Structures are given as structure tokens and as C-alpha cells.
A and B are shown apart, each in its own frame.
Chain A
Amino acid sequence: MIGAPQPTYAVEGHGLVKTFGDFRAVDGIDIAVPAGSIYGILGPNGAGKTTMLRTLLGIIDPDEGERRLLGDPAPLRQARNVGYLPEERGLYPSMKAFEAVAFMGALRGLPLRIGRERARAMLADYGMGASAEKPIRQLSKGMAQTVQLFGTIVHEPRLIVLDEPFSGLDAFNQGKLETLIRDQARRGVTVLFSTHVIAHAERLCERVAIVAGGKVRFEGTVDDARNRLRPQVRLRTRASDGGWRRALPPETLAQDGAWHFALPQEGIEPLLRALLDGHAGIESLSIERPGLHDAFVAIAGEAAARQMQADQVREEAA
């Protein structure tokens, strides 16, 4: 399945619009997820991430626009090649863990016998072998979530779509999930996931789409996003004044006994020369590349960034 020829883009959406009553949840979205990549959709709750994924997967139809899943304009025709973990987790409570995994595989065309074998092996490898025969209602929330994740990948799909996959997992299991995503990507599988936690996207994704208000505000590599901002310079000097200050950029801020400014276009060397010649006395100098969070604030706005942080705090508290 992995060796089958793949289109350039595993997922494509052009001009997608989805309206619920008067609310435009998806507002003219364009997206292209390269085959074989780990792709993150970043945005606060209510940004339109889930509606966008559901539209791309064919669960709901867009009001306007076109979509292609693995090159196919009818997404459900590709169901066998796709694995999907929805944001709202759901399993039949009376089903045994291994049966639930096999059932999800069977829905997507995997013979039940093979599904059961794989399910038992996956659960055993993950240290959940003893829980394989237990009904879902007897498992912890985290374990049930793992069962559903295995159900998403048991049929060895070419594309895995995960909606807020880290939500509800503790730090240890979040790490295990990150490993699993990387393993899948190494096998050539395209992984598309949505998150409101920037750190996950920053660690995992080759490309990201920043979504806010139903629109894609940025699409590109994490480096592209970070490169949208100039690196930040933090300079601490022994002297507080002198001719050297004329060499500092006009937008420089004095804060916490240090000078803060964006790295000038011509680089740091002319400034360094002026500091040395002017005897400013360099106590410390750091040039930091902006993180994805800074890029997100710059792209989606302070309000969206604050909402994302609030979402994360709320989730951790829960």
C-alpha cells in the first residue's frame, strides 16, 4: 500500500466555504498537503479546523470550492487509504479493545481476521496486551484513546488525519504519540493533524497552516513562518549613553535594563563596530530566532494567540 504511486498532494482544498446558518465556519480556504509530509493545522478552538478537516474528508460537503483526497474528488472512495481520529472520541462501550480496533479497520476494508491479529499485536507492543480482551467501558480515558488511535492506523492507511490528537493525553502519552507520528511519516505516510498547542506543531511538522476565523492566515514550512519575523536582538551594555546609541535601530526598546530590537537588515556587524568604537561595554548580546509562537502572534494576531493559550490551560486543567 505504501509503495503505491502517490499524487503530489495527499490533500487539496481550493476555495472551500462551509456555512452553518449565518456562521461562516470555513471561509474560502486553500490548502495543499504534500504527500509523505507531517502537516499541522494550527489555530484556536473555533477557528474552523475541525470543519475544514471534516469537509476535506467528505464527512460534510462544502457549500463552495473543490477538494481532493489522495487525488480523488470523491473523498469516501479513498476511505481504505485514510485513517481518521476525530476530535470527539467515540467507541462502542461494550466492545472489547481488540475488537474495536479490528472493527475500525474493517470499516475501511481490512478483513476482520487480519484486523484482530494486528490489533492484538499493536496493543501488546504498546504494553496494553492485558487490556485487549477488556470491554472499552473498563478502560481509562487514555487507554480508550489509544485504542481509537490504533483503530485509525490498523489498516495501514496512506493518509492519517488526526483532529486534536494530543488532547486528553498526559505528557508521557503525548511523547509516545509524537513517536508514532514520526514512525508513520518515516514509512511514507502523510500525517495531517490539527492542534492548538504550538509546541507539537513546532516539533513535528514540516509544514503548517495557521487558521483563524475560518481562513488560512499562513501556509508554509515552520521555518517560513519563523522567518517572517526578524531575529530578535537583546543587548545589555555597561554604559547607558553615548554616541554608539545612534547606531541602534529607531524602534529599539529599553526594557529590564537591556536593549531590545529586531536584527537590522545589514546584519549585526555594523552595530558591533559602533558599540566597540563608542566604548559601550558589551555585557551580553543574544540574537534569537523567533519561535513559531511569535510567528503565530504576528500572523494570526494577539487575540488568537491568547485564545490558544487559554484553550491549552483549560485542557490541562481538565
Chain B
Amino acid sequence: MMEMMRAALVIARRDFTAVVLSRTFIFFLLGPLFPIVIGMAFGGLGDKISTADLRPVVGVAMSPADTARMQRAHARLAERMGPQALPALRRVPLSPAPRVQLARANADVMVIVSGSPAQPVMTGQPQDIRRLEGDISLLASAALAEKSLHMVHVEAQQVATSVGAQSQGRLVIGRIAQIVIFFLTILLAGMILSNLVEEKTNKIIEILAAAVPVDAIFLGKLMAMLAMSFVGIFFWGATAFGVFLALKTPGVSLPVPAVGWPAFLMLAILYFAMAYTLLGSLFLGIGAQAATVREVQTLNMPVTMGQMLIFFFATYAVDKMGSPPEIAAVILPFSSPFAMIARAAQVDAIWPHLLAIAWQMIWVGLIIRIGVLLFRRHVLKSGGGWWKQLFRSATG
């Protein structure tokens, strides 16, 4: 075992330095920052799009007095509920009939409300009517009540902590952690697919296979790619933390995960490592079967879809702690890291994490072994019975 780890470290060191000391690694580090920079540059425009243009527009075909009442009611309600909560209103002519107006090529309202606030009539597609009739009813009621509608003052009683808010916050933290780990894994683990192609095309594989167990080659490559990923994550994490500190609103504090921030961050790193090595060992095994870069590229899409499926499964179970789907997500090795980080956000027990990490490590070992077995059989054209090969010593 010691010899295998030594050999794996030799291979990991070579791969790590070959990647990190290459010029292209700078682009790898800066790559994920491009969308953020572009996003910030166009942030103002994005805000405008999201706040104004995406609201449904309702045409009001009422008498001028009724239209004015509807608009005053809209202004009063929007003041309390926020402008996003209600559709935008636009005055439209009383004639021709709403049905005719909506059929015109230049029609720019979703539905038209005619009649009066006491008896509003909505004209539009059935689904649009269903969507907006509640809002229009509220607006018409407010317009009808007008002066007699009093906005009640809400008295605030502030508390230092709220368990309900905390559990909501923890749920959000769990979801965010899942998303971050998933995107980091999807960004970084895919690179492993092509990892053995270099060795195969440069005929180095025979030198490696003659000197060290194939298990050590696989393990070394995984270790190198994981270390390279940590360099990237450290860089991006430091940048994100810097941006967070710069943009942080004073007085606003983040909710605390159930296990506390230090343990949560440690577990997040561990679960990323486990998600990465679980998928990485699978990708390495699949990619090792490919003879050319073209074959690897072809494999990329189904592999990415598989990742998405695992992620959706894990996120589906996040707010159902202890439910059969959640327990299944915890047990299933590929979804286990995602499900467990959500648990760390919501449940304070540490021992399940130790168990889960051990369970995930067993699977990493098993997947590497199966990958090695397939590699020996199909690439090196070696090997005998499946079971005998699966449990043979790495040194043969």
C-alpha cells in the first residue's frame, strides 16, 4: 500500500506540475472570472430588464375616471407590496372592442380590462386570465374602496433569533452549497475524461504500466487533478471572498449552518473532494477506454447529462430530511456528497459525515478498481476472470 501511494505521488507530482506550470493554467484560473466581470459590467442593464420589462402589461379600457381610480389603486398597493408584485397598467382606447384590439399586429398588452371597477371584464387568453385575474380583482377592489381603504400600520417586534428563519436560512445555505459543489465538480471533473489520452498517444503508458501498478496511475492522476482543482478553488474562493467583503451590506449577517461555519466549510471541502474523486474515478475509467481526443469529446455530453441527473436527485431531497428519497440520496454514492452537505447545513450531528465520507471512499476505491480492471482488459489486453482480477493485489 505504501509503495502504491509512493508511486501514485510520483505520477501526481508530474501531472500537477505539468498542468500548473503551463501557460494555459492562467486562462484556467481566469476563465470563471470572465462571466462575473461581464455580469457586473452589464449588471445595470440586467436590473432594468428584470424589474420593468418582464412584468405583464394589462390594458385598461374604462372611462377616464375609472382608469384613473385603477391607476391610483395600483400606486397605493405597489407602495406596500413592491412594484414587482403587480402587473403594469396601460390605458387603451375604449373602442374598438378589446377582442379586436388584442388581435391587432401591434398589440402590446397581455389582457384588457374593460367595464368598471365594480364589474371588471377581462379579455385575453385563458391562461393569461387565470394568471392575472387575482391581481385585477385586488386592484379593482382597492379602486372601488378608494378613500375608505385604510392601509393598516404593522407594529414591528424584533427578536434576536428566529428558529423558523434560521431553518429557512439553513435550507438556503444547503442548496447554495450543493450548487457550488456541483458546478465546481462539473467544471473540473470533466477534464479527467481526457487524462489518459496523453499517455496513450505518446506511448508512455507502457513505461508506467511496467513500473507501477495501474491502480497507482489512476490514483496519481486523480490526486493531481484534485490538487489542481484546489489551486483553482483557492484562487476563485479568495477572489469571491474579497468581492463579498467589498460589497457586504453592514449589519446583515449570514445564517449559521447547523454544524457551524468552520465545520461546514471543512465538510464542504471534503464533500467537494469526494464528489470530485467519485465522478473523477468514473470519468478516468471511461476516458481510459477512449483511444483518441475525439472519442473523449463524444463521451463528454452523456457524462454531463449523468451529472445533471445526480444533482437533480440530490437537490430534490434537500428539504425532505429523513425522507426515503433523502436517505436514498445519502446512500447512493454519486449523490451522497451533495445530499450530505445539505444535511450539514440543517442537522448538527457530525458522526453521519464521518460514516458518509468512509462510505464514499470505499466507492472511490471500488470504482478505481473497476476502471483499472477495464483498462487492463481492453487497453492492455490483459486479465482473467472478473472477480479474481477485482480482488487481486495491485502488484499482480
Contacts and interface: CB of A to CB of B under 8 A. Distances in A.
Nearest to B7: A107
B85 interface: no
Nearest to A151: B207
B381 A60 contact: yes
A188 interface: no
B106 interface: no
B45 interface: no
A104 interface: yes
Contact of A20 (B210, B381, B393): B381
A111 to B, nearest CB: 10
Interface size class of B (residues with CB under 8 A): 20 to 34
Interface stretch (B180-188, B197-205, B320-328): B197-205
Contacts of B382: 59-61
A92 B395 contact: no
B384 interface: yes
Contact of B202 (A74, A90, A107): A90
A265 to B, nearest CB: 48
A275 to B, nearest CB: 59
Contacts of B99: none
B236 to A, nearest CB: 26
Contacts of A82: 210
B86 to A, nearest CB: 62
A86 B203 contact: yes
B265 interface: no
Given A103-B14, A107-B7, A107-B211, A58 B396 contact: yes
Contacts of B211: 79, 84, 104, 107-108
A77 B207 contact: no
Contact of A92 (B202, B209, B210, B393): B202
Contacts of A63: 384
Contacts of B395: 58, 74, 76-77, 79
Contacts of B7: 107
A301 interface: no
Nearest to B393: A74
A61 B206 contact: no
Contact of A84 (B11, B22, B204, B210): B210
Contacts of A75: 396
Interface string B14-32: 1000100010000000000
A84 B207 contact: yes
A107 B205 CA distance: 12
In the complex, which range does the number of interface residues on chain A fall in?
20 to 34
Given A92-B18, A94-B18, A59 B384 contact: no
Contacts of A109: 6
A75 B206 CA distance: 15
B210 A57 contact: yes
Nearest to A67: B396
Nearest to B217: A107
A76 B396 contact: yes
B202 A91 contact: yes
A266 interface: no
Contacts of A20: 381
Interface of A: 20, 54, 57-61, 63, 74-77, 79, 82, 84, 86, 88-95, 103-104, 106-109, 148, 151
Given A59-B380, A63-B384, A86-B203, 20 more contacts: A54-B206, A58-B210, A58-B395, A58-B396, A59-B206, A59-B209, A59-B210, A60-B380, A61-B376, A77-B395, A77-B396, A86-B210, A90-B207, A92-B202, A103-B14, A104-B207, A107-B10, A107-B211, A109-B6, A148-B207
30 contacts: A20-B381, A54-B210, A58-B210, A59-B206, A59-B380, A59-B382, A60-B376, A60-B382, A61-B383, A74-B396, A76-B213, A76-B395, A76-B396, A77-B395, A77-B396, A79-B210, A82-B210, A84-B211, A86-B206, A88-B203, A90-B202, A90-B203, A92-B14, A94-B18, A94-B22, A103-B14, A107-B11, A107-B208, A107-B212, A151-B207
